Chains A and B, each alone.
Chain A
Amino acid sequence: MKKHITLLALFFASIAGVNAQGIMGGHVTGNIQLDGQISRSDSIIGAQDVPEMLLLNSRADILYTNGNFSAGMRFEAYQNPMLGFNIKYKGAGVANYFAAYNGEKLSVTAGNFYEQFGSGMILRAYEDRYLGLDNSLLGLNVTLRPFDGVTIKALAGKQRYYWEYGDGLVRGIDGEVNFNSIIKSMSDSKLRLTMGAGFVSKYQDDQTIVYPYNPAYKLNLPLNVGAGAVRADLSYGNWGLQAEYAHKGQDPSIMNDYIYREGNALMINATYSQKGLSANIQAKYVDNISFKSVRSESGEMLYINYIPAITKQHTYAFLSMYPYATQTTGEMGLQGDVMYKIKKETLLGGKYGTDIHLNASVITSLDSKRIGGAGTLGYETNGFNPGELYYADASLEVAKKLSSKYKLTCTYGYQIFNPIVEGHPGDLHHNHVVVGDLTWKINKKNVLRFEAEWMGSDSKYSSDVDDKRCGDWIMGLVEYNFTSAWFVSVSDQYAYKDGIGNYYNLSVGYTHGATRFQLGYGKQREGLLCIGGVCRQVPASNGLTFSLTTSF
């Protein structure tokens, strides 16, 4: 990848050259982010010494735009990668570069690009810098809009693998039709309908993977693996329904223990909304749908697809202490979510109204029977019957503005968590969480926020399992925003019963225009950091962190 720097320099030099002749105008935008960490050992929380003393992740995105034409690059440097980021990121260079034309009927991107078909169940090339995840494709991406309401996408490329590219070649095509646009009689209809279908194929050379039960055999690997999906998005008045079904061919990989069972996934989402009320219910069925461009890659990279999580992404510390990681090998679940605003000037609504948010979800494994291991079909399922409980979560949040200066949010949550989803067996954890969050708007430029949390759990810390989330916890946080530019916050999480650890943090931040600087000192618990069901393991740390972001 680093070899492309020269090519890129030539490319930008050519732009500059043409620009100098006055043929091109355009403008350049960008953003820069620098994150640093200094950590020292702490035997209680398990933090290790960092030999380098200072760890730095930095990046700069630069985008040149001129009419329909754009070109960009991203420079990244991990010197060395911060704790929790894969050591394979170590180094610096141009990680991403592209040139694109975006016309009314046609868009073409050459270079690195991100793309998604439908909800991503067969293809989602995306980046999440906080997860250290970037599965961008290097190749060509073409989007055709031959007439209003019809979109066809076609792409081919290889996926980023830290500073290199994976061996697998990804090819895909997707089409979407908006019936309200292409059928005149439906243009003003209350019924809105969009349908789509996509197909993605990956190719990877053959390799020798020894059949574990008899080393004289090797797995007969499919070199081309295909996945297809159909989807529909229907709405009528206040009601909405989205559904997508995906099927994947035989794809033995390290993710499924090299079994040959074909994969399936189904997502259904029904919604209702009106003023002051919105509700949705989601159902998900996932069976052996992990899809990577390299069959032997077990880490966070080289995912071709993405299975959305249907559990609520909590923001409060204890509610998010047990994040749920999507089990692409097999799971099924339901989620319901209701948001209701009690009207102003009512008994419960008071002067400003009251917001109530109720959410519940349950995820189980599939009821399956094992047939064999690698080189076999693996298992068979018993229809849509649920298996072992993986995760259940219910939370009620009530937010009320008490006066023009005070806003109070109270939350109660209950979670059942099966540690098997993180790869280790153990008893279910049953957790009760209570949160109180009070915001005091002192004046226009000064805001003080208090947060208190409690978590009671039936889990107990043991050095054998070493799960530092176990036990009963309390937490307090005070955050002060002043002069609209500065903020300072102090927090502490303490395991007061059956647990271990005392995690205190102090943060100071300053914002000026598009520039923000933040400095923190404290302890970070080891655990999973999950965004949208995709997770990475974060080790414990103890020390200083800082972050600088700016854009131009």
Chain B
Amino acid sequence: MKKLKLFALLATVALSFVACDKIEEENGKFVIFAGANGTWYDSDADIPDVQRVFIEKYTGVRCVNCPFADDAIHAASEKYGDALVVAAIHANNNFGKPFGQDPDLRTPKGNIWFDEYIGTTGIPVAMINRNHDDIFVPTSGLDDRIEAIINQESKINMLVTSGRDGDKYYAIVRLGFAQDVTEELTLTLLVIEDKIYTTQLKLGEGEIENYEQNHVLRDIITDAWGIDVYADGKQGTKRMVRLNFELRNDCVPENCHLIAFVSDKVTRRIINSCECELL
């Protein structure tokens, strides 16, 4: 019997070294979207009917009030969960300048947004769904603004997924038109990273070392103002696009996720947004 047990043990150990992959079925198929980079295709996938809220918060490591905005947005995230999509754009020559050897969290495309909408206005400030008529200090007044949007019916439903092809990443963004949309549209794809630790100034506490920066905009895969959406905009239309990209070397993939939003090409108001982990 000892011999049998030893044999069973050996076999179990050996079997644990070899495995097989299990591909999950999606809508009865075992396929992945592999269209040409940036080309729009028809889609037949199910897209959740959800209206989300995109908050773009402008912040900086030398901004003493910014941690209070972080706290308020964190509380809102806890409250609204997946319905809230947050990007923290570090900007401003003075408030965004890093301490010592800390990484510079500012990005060229983030600076384009900052220069366009914020300019000389102090930070922290935020916009919801890029309503540039309502730039506000996001330490209060979040709930009313958020609820005014998430209670609306979604015009365009969105779904973003990610994958890896060799050493490159790709995102697949799907749009489902729940209503007729006549506006010209653009799609913007962001890389966001959490858990970046830097020094941060905070009112009353001074320099806080190893402050955890979350929702940090690290890259915009598309143009800063997005790429054109090719769709007829009719209710029931479903479209999708694949966007290939390389992740910045100083990003930790496990801490990154993607945000995609679709906006009016003229007004740049955001119609809906979504996010996913980076696989």
Contacts and interface: CB of A to CB of B under 8 A. Distances in A.
Interface in B1-42: 3-4, 6-7, 10-11, 14-15, 17-23, 25, 28-35, 41-42
A158 to B, nearest CB: 15
A549 to B, nearest CB: 40
Nearest to B18: A201
A147 interface: yes
Interface string A176-202: 010000100000000000000101010
A372 B27 CA distance: 12
B20 A201 contact: yes
Nearest to A227: B20
A219 B21 contact: no
A375 B29 contact: yes
A532 interface: no
Contact of B23 (A149, A175, A197, A250): A250
Interface residues of B, number: 28
Interface residues of A, number: 39
Contacts of B15: 173, 199
A129 to B, nearest CB: 31
B24 to A, nearest CB: 8
Contacts of B33: 216-217
A519 B30 CA distance: 55
B30 A376 contact: yes
A147 B22 CA distance: 36
Contact of A217 (B19, B20, B34): B34
B18 A218 contact: no
A260 interface: yes
Contacts of A172: 18
A216 B35 contact: yes
Contact of A150 (B7, B28, B29): B7
Given A147-B3, A173-B11, A217-B34, A222 B21 contact: yes
A211 interface: yes
B3 A150 contact: yes
A210 B21 CA distance: 20
A249 interface: yes
A146 B7 CA distance: 9
Nearest to B240: A216
B179 to A, nearest CB: 25
A224 B22 CA distance: 9
Contacts of B41: 214, 216
Contact of B18 (A147, A173, A223): A173
A152 interface: yes
A208 B31 CA distance: 11
A252 interface: yes
A137 interface: no
Contact of A220 (B6, B14, B23): B23
A218 B41 CA distance: 14
A218 B34 contact: yes
A217 B31 contact: yes
Nearest to A177: B7
A500 B14 CA distance: 58
A197 B10 CA distance: 12
Contact of B20 (A147, A216, A225): A225
A260 B32 contact: no
B73 to A, nearest CB: 36
B14 A173 contact: yes
A218 B22 contact: no
Max chain A Cβ within 10 angstroms of own Cβ: one of B6, B30, B240: B30
A250 B31 contact: no
Interface string A261-296: 000000000000000000000000000000000000
| Minimum-distance CB pairs A-B, first 5 | A226-B20, A222-B21, A218-B34, A201-B18, A216-B35
Given A201-B19, A226-B18, A249-B21, 11 more contacts: A147-B3, A149-B3, A152-B11, A175-B7, A199-B18, A211-B31, A216-B41, A218-B34, A224-B20, A372-B29, A376-B28
23 contacts: A146-B6, A150-B7, A152-B14, A173-B15, A175-B11, A177-B4, A182-B4, A199-B15, A201-B19, A211-B29, A211-B31, A216-B35, A220-B31, A220-B32, A222-B23, A223-B21, A224-B19, A226-B18, A250-B20, A260-B23, A260-B30, A375-B31, A377-B28
